[in-house]
């Protein structure tokens, strides 16, 4: 651990700074990302680097601020003798998968699949010209292609499981005009990626129109835009509330921090009867149904869909689902399992600098026992296949860190991608720094590669959120990290990093263990710094997700995983690597009132209102299949009494349950029952006295009640409180926040959170701390400035801004359902500022894409104070304004500057086109109103 904290240590062997690292690596097939020392650009120390105030000017390469000294990676010695043909060499020499020439049904154009030619062409353009045998066998399951049977299937990560779901979903949408499909994914990042993929898949596709008498029914042809297949992503936030009329394929998330979008969408569709158009639902990562935070949302949504009297094909998939039969019984579907991987994976255990194969459980357990037994003769012990030499640098005295750095360097030096999993935010940053310091220096990097990395660094610096200092240090050396929002990276940074890694601009990406299921970054080599997430060991399913990222068809010929292990963890790691996956079960229970929420939703959307119909509904739940009918009935009785006592439901004259206004408000706003009670109390108090001569009270109302793991800096809280004007102090008083308590907390006192009242008060204090941040964001303070001011990660600040948009929409719905129309209107008016991140005078400009917050202010100060002004301006005149709005952009010379200006001109064209479209809509609206009045 000492070396992990040694970022500021000096290099112990100065001579090693200039030493060239050699290594022994097995040759691999496939196209490499080459690295060359030919045509090298100037060294950062050369005069070519002309530094000027505020801007770095250069021709080819750029300097790294406060660049640390270079180190060298340890040599990896291959201890194995030359062997005969291996699985790898055979896989390269002999096709592992039959082609469509041997089996015609492996071609997507085969009549058995009934796909339109344009769709087959689109798949071919995306690199999918045929399917695997297992995919054919799965699709040919009973009733699947016809849509009369549901499906649960399990396939390894990278085995092509998504394509099966895509094909079945597209068939349902394409074969019947007006039909809808939902695709539910666990994370927002996956939703964004899937939307882009599906839009490419359906490009140019049109629905069949059998209504035209002059056309042959079922013939595919180009028609008007409204007949195109529309793919819409639901990310949470915003005032634009897409409905079922807006899409054919809706891609949603169940991520709770951004709102349970898929479930809320289904509730709305059931309530207004538009759900009758739904024909297919795809559930990705089905094993997450037992996730403590969001699994119950997936179950209660699916149970509602299963109870509808209409044909809906449910397609559920997972890479880690041990009790698939239970899931198949639940959705009444066909089950299929395969272990096929188109790219083989070779797994290793790294212990004390030695690399051991992890080919079988018995061999690995034997290895662990033998390594512990120092008395055993050497010839009887398990033999390593590689050895990582001890480093000359004291920074790499830790054998685990030394192995991680050496293994990453070895693969990156051959031009292939490396994915490193670390157990914490700090470990991510540390690993990225250490690996970057052993990568080739700038003057040895091929100019074309350095140019791409320079462009990436330039893009990162130009972001309005600022650049992460670690990324600024590592990107030019081909290394970056990829973390979730709560750990600091913004959405824009993560998107840029993922794209650069996928393109080969970056060779090493370090990610947190928790992101294993939330990213799609395949690698030639996956390195696990350890098997822990924080202090605890990861579970078998998460470990399999991480290791499954190695190897991806079309990217690399083989995959490798290296799990690094410390002495004290050896036996637990060995057991974990080959542990059976735990059975997946239902999370729909009375804990945290999850079953109560499910009951309330069913009653509110009128799917079931009598006791018997409610029992019948929950007979279709996974809970009943997992625990039996008697268990479910006992829980239902207790839960019905509880939601009645909480005044969420009441009974009519026929003893049927009906939702109260409060119950309807909770369902409409898509929040948990306990949160609904808290919000109702807060808003009821606000109705009696609301501070309207300032922004703080409304911003507090828009601050989410969910626990984001916020750590309040009470000194900062005190400082901001002392700067409040009279209006802000009245908000404090109305919320019950005591200044004297803030002063005590700032001096080191701790907040009691024992009783329910104390917990609610603590929630008020935390929300108000976040409201301070929202206030600054709405007043155009950049995200990176807010981050520093409040001691919060930039990604967390950005997520607060985005989540508040969705939460604000929920609060408006809550008020509307409660009959508080005036209050809802006031909140709705202010929510525009949340989306714009700007003051009121910029709200019109903020309607144009790419013009938000600081950029909008620059446009305003440059004289573009209306959409009409932008619409009537040549896009070339907008380029200097965009350049001014990105002061951190690296200014380049020659062709680099021309390329930079071309990018800005492309953005200016989009801004101009969008402004013209909005401007024309405004003129048409004004003309229609004028004609109507006359």
Class level of CATH domain 673-837:
mainly alpha
Does this model's pTM top 0.85? no
Other Cβ atoms within 10 Å of 909 Cβ, number: 13
Which residue from 384, 318, 432, 311 is spatially nearest to 76, judged by alpha carbons? 384
Residue pair 190/518 in contact (Cβ under 8 Å)? The answer is: yes
- Secondary structure (H, E, C), 354-421: EEEECCCHHHHHHHHHHHHCCCCCHHHCCCCCEEECCCCCHHHCCHHHHHHHHHHHHHHHCCCCEEEE
* Rounded Cα–Cα distance for residues 908 and 92 (Å): 48
Q: Give bridge partners of residue 184 from the DSSP assignment.
A: 252, 283
Question: Who wins on pLDDT, 5 or 666?
Answer: 666
Fold of 104-337: Rossmann fold (3.40.50)
Tell me phi and psi for residue 514, to 5 degrees. -65, -15
**640-668 per-position pLDDT tens digit:** 999 999 999 999 988 999 999 999 999 99
Is pLDDT above 70 for 295? yes
User: What confidence tier does 708 reach under pLDDT thresholds 50, 70, 90?
Assistant: low
Q: 924 pLDDT exceeds 90?
A: no
Question: Is a pLDDT exceeding 50 seen at residue 402?
Answer: yes
**What tokens appear for 219 in the block?**
């013939």
pLDDT at 197: 92
Q: Among all chains, which residue has been given the structure tokens 């008016």? A: 829
Give the tokens for residue 613: 């119909």
Are residues 808 and 827 in contact, defined by beta-carbon separation less than 8 angstroms? yes
Give the percent of the chain with pLDDT over 70.
80
Tell me 664's DSSP state: H
Question: 546-561 as b/e, with b when 16 or more CB fall inside 10 Å?
Answer: bbbbbbbbebbbbbbb
Answer yes or no: are the C-beta atoms of 802 and 692 closer than 8 Å. no
Domain map (residue ranges) of the chain: 3-74+343-577, 104-337, 591-659, 673-837, 847-933
Distance CA 8, CA 430 (A): 11
Query: How distant is the alpha carbon of residue 636 from its chain centre?
Result: 35
Report the pLDDT averaged over residues 79-84: 58
The answer to whether the 3-74+343-577 and 104-337 domains have the same CATH topology is yes
Half-sphere exposure of 748 (CA within 13 A, CB side): 0
Q: How confident is the model at residue 121 (pLDDT cuts 50, 70, 90)?
A: very high
Q: Residue 500: pLDDT band by 50, 70, 90 thresholds?
A: very high
* Amino acid 640: pLDDT: 94
Q: What is the CATH T-level fold of the domain 591-659, as seen in this structure?
A: Arc Repressor Mutant, subunit A (1.10.10)
Which of 473, 478, 469 is CA-nearest to residue 450? 478
Range name among 254-263, 634-643, 796-805 with the lowest pLDDT average: 254-263
Is 466 strand, coil or helix? coil
pLDDT of 238 over the 60 cut:
no
- Residue found under tokens 């990395």: 453
Helices (H), 779-863: 783-790, 794-818, 821-836, 853-861
Question: pLDDT at position 423, please?
Answer: 83
What does the block give as tokens for 403? 């192995």
Does the pLDDT of residue 87 top 80, yes or no? no
Chain-centroid distance, C-alpha 104: 38
Please choose, from the candidates 331, 334, 317, the residue with its C-alpha nearest in 3D space to the C-alpha of residue 155. Answer: 317
Q: Which residues 6+ apart lie within 8 Å of 336 measured at CB?
A: 137, 138, 141, 151, 152, 153, 154
For residue 790, pLDDT over 80 is answered with yes
Strand partners, 509: 419, 480
Lowest mean pLDDT among 266-280, 834-848, 885-899: 885-899
**Sign of the dihedral defined by the CA atoms of residues 615, 616, 617, 621, in that order:** positive
CA angle 861, 867, 871 (to 5 degrees): 105
Residue 381's pLDDT is 58
The encoded tokens of residue 707 equal: 């626990």
Over 60: is that where the pLDDT of 137 sits?
yes
Residue 906 confidence (pLDDT) = 85
Contact between residue 769 and residue 712 where contact means Cβ atoms under 8 Å apart: yes
Contacts of 647 by beta carbon, 8 Å cutoff, 6+ apart: 660, 662, 663
Whole-number mean pLDDT of the chain? 80
pLDDT at residue 85 above 60? no
Which CATH number, 3.90.1150.10, 3.30.70.1520, 3.40.50.300, 3.55.40.20, labels domain 3-74+343-577? 3.40.50.300
Cα separation, 317 vs 152, in Å, equals 6
198 CB burial (10 A radius; 0-12, 13-18, 19+)? buried
- Predicted local confidence at residue 242, as pLDDT: 59
Q: State both tokens at 540.
A: 């078998």
Does pLDDT of 715 surpass 70? yes
pLDDT digits (tens, 9 = 90+) for 844-880: 887 888 787 778 888 888 888 888 888 888 888 888 8
Pairing of strands 76-78, 333-337: unpaired
Q: So what's the pLDDT on residue 737?
A: 94
Instruction: Give percent above pLDDT 90 in the chain.
Output: 39
> Which of 265-274, 705-714, 815-824 bottoms out in mean pLDDT, i.e. has the lowest?
705-714
**Ramachandran quadrant class, 435 (left: phi over 0; alpha: psi -120 to 50; beta: rest):** alpha
Q: Please count the other Cβ atoms lying within 10 Å of the Cβ belonging to residue 774.
A: 26
What does the pLDDT read at residue 329?
Answer: 94
- Give every CB contact of residue 347 below 8 A, 6+ residues apart in sequence: 357, 358, 359, 547, 560, 561, 563, 577
Q: 407, 355, 345: which is closest to 382 by C-alpha?
A: 355
Which H/E stretch holds residue 649? strand 649-651
């Amino acid at each position: 651990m000492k070396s992990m904290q040694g970022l500021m240590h000096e290099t112990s062997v100065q001579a090693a700074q200039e030493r060239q690292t050699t290594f022994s690596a097995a040759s691999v097939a496939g196209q490499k990302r080459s690295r060359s020392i030919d045509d090298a650009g100037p060294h950062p120390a050369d005069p070519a680097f002309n530094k000027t105030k505020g801007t770095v000017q250069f021709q080819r390469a750029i300097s790294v601020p406060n660049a640390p000294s270079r180190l060298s990676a340890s040599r990896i010695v291959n201890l194995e003798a030359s062997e005969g043909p291996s699985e790898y060499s055979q896989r390269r020499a002999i096709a592992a998968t039959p082609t469509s020439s041997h089996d015609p049904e492996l071609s997507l154009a085969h009549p058995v699949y009934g796909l339109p030619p344009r769709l087959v062409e689109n798949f071919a353009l995306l690199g999918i010209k045929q399917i695997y045998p297992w995919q054919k066998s799965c699709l040919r399951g009973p009733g699947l292609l016809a849509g009369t049977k549901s499906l649960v299937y399990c396939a390894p990560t990278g085995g092509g499981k998504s394509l099966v779901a895509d094909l079945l979903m597209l068939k349902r949408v394409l074969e019947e005009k007006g039909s809808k499909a939902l695709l539910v994914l666990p994370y927002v990042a996956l939703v964004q990626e899937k939307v882009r993929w599906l839009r490419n898949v359906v490009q140019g596709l049109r629905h069949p129109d059998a209504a035209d008498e002059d056309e042959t029914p079922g013939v595919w042809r180009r028609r008007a835009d409204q007949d195109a297949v529309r793919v819409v992503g639901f990310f949470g936030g915003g005032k634009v509330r897409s409905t079922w009329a807006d899409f054919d394929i809706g891609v949603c998330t169940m991520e709770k921090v951004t709102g349970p979008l898929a479930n809320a969408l289904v509730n709305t569709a059931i309530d207004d009867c538009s759900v009758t158009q739904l024909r297919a639902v795809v559930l990705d990562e089905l094993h997450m149904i037992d996730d403590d935070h969001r699994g119950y949302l997936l179950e209660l949504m699916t149970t509602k869909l299963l109870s509808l009297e209409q044909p809906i094909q449910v397609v559920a998939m997972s890479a880690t689902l041990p009790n698939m039969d239970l899931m198949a019984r639940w959705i009444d579907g066909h089950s299929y399992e395969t272990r096929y991987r188109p790219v083989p994976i070779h797994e290793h255990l790294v212990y004390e600098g030695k690399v051991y194969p992890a080919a079988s459980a018995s061999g690995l357990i034997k290895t662990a026992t033998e390594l512990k037994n120092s008395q055993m003769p050497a010839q009887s012990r398990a033999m390593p296949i590689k050895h990582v030499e001890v480093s000359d640098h004291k920074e790499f005295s830790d054998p685990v860190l030394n192995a991680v750095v050496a293994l990453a360097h070895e693969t990156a030096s051959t031009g292939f991608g490396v994915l490193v999993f670390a157990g914490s935010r700090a470990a991510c940053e540390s690993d990225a720094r250490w690996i970057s310091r052993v990568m080739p220096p700038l003057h040895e990097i091929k100019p074309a590669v350095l140019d791409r990395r320079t462009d990436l660094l330039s893009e990162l610096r130009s972001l309005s959120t600022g650049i992460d200092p670690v990324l600024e240090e590592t990107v030019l050396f081909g290394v970056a990290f990829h973390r979730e929002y709560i750990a600091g990276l913004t959405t824009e940074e993560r998107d840029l990093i993922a794209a650069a890694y996928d393109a080969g601009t970056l060779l090493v990406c370090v990610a947190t263990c928790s992101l294993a299921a939330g990213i799609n970054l395949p690698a030639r080599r996956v390195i696990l710094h350890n098997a822990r997430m924080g202090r605890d060991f990861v579970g078998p399913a998460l470990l399999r997700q991480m290791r499954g990222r190695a190897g991806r068809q079309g990217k690399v010929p083989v995959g490798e995983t290296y799990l690094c292990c410390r002495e004290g963890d050896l036996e637990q790691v060995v057991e974990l690597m080959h542990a059976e996956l735990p059975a997946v079960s239902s999370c729909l229970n009375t804990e945290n009132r999850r079953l109560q929420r499910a009951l309330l939703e069913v009653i509110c959307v009128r799917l079931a209102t009598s006791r018997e119909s409610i029992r019948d509904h929950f007979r279709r739940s996974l809970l009943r299949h997992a625990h039996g009918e008697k268990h479910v009935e006992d829980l239902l009785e207790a839960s019905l009494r509880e939601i009645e006592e909480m005044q969420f439901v009441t009974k009519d004259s026929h003893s049927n349950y009906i939702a109260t206004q409060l119950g309807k408000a909770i369902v409409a706003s898509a929040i948990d029952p306990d949160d609904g009670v808290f919000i109702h109390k807060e808003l009821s108090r606000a109705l009696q006295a609301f501070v309207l001569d300032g922004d703080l009270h409304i911003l507090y109302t828009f601050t989410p009640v969910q626990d984001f793991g916020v750590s309040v800096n009470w000194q900062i809280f005190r400082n901001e409180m002392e700067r409040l004007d009279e209006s802000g102090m009245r908000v404090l008083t109305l919320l019950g926040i005591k200044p004297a308590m803030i002063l005590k907390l700032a001096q080191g006192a701790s907040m009691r959170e024992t009783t329910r009242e104390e917990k609610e008060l603590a929630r008020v204090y935390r929300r108000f701390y976040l409201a301070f941040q929202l206030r600054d964001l709405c007043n155009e303070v950049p995200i990176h400035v807010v981050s520093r001011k409040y001691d919060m990660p930039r990604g967390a600040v950005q997520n607060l801004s985005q989540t508040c948009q969705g939460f604000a929409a929920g609060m408006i719905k809550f008020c509307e359902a409660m009959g508080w129309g005036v209050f809802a209107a006031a909140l709705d008016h202010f929510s525009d500022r949340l989306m714009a991140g700007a003051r009121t005078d910029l709200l019109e400009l903020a309607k144009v894409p790419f013009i938000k917050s600081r950029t909008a202010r620059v446009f305003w100060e440059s004289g573009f104070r209306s959409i009409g002004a932008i619409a009537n301006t040549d896009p070339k005149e907008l380029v200097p304004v965009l350049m001014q709005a990105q002061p951190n952009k690296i200014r380049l010379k020659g062709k680099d500057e021309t390329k930079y200006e071309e990018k800005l001109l492309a953005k200016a064209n989009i801004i101009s086109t969008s402004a013209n479209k909005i401007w024309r809509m405004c003129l048409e609206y004004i003309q229609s109103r004028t004609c109507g009045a006359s």
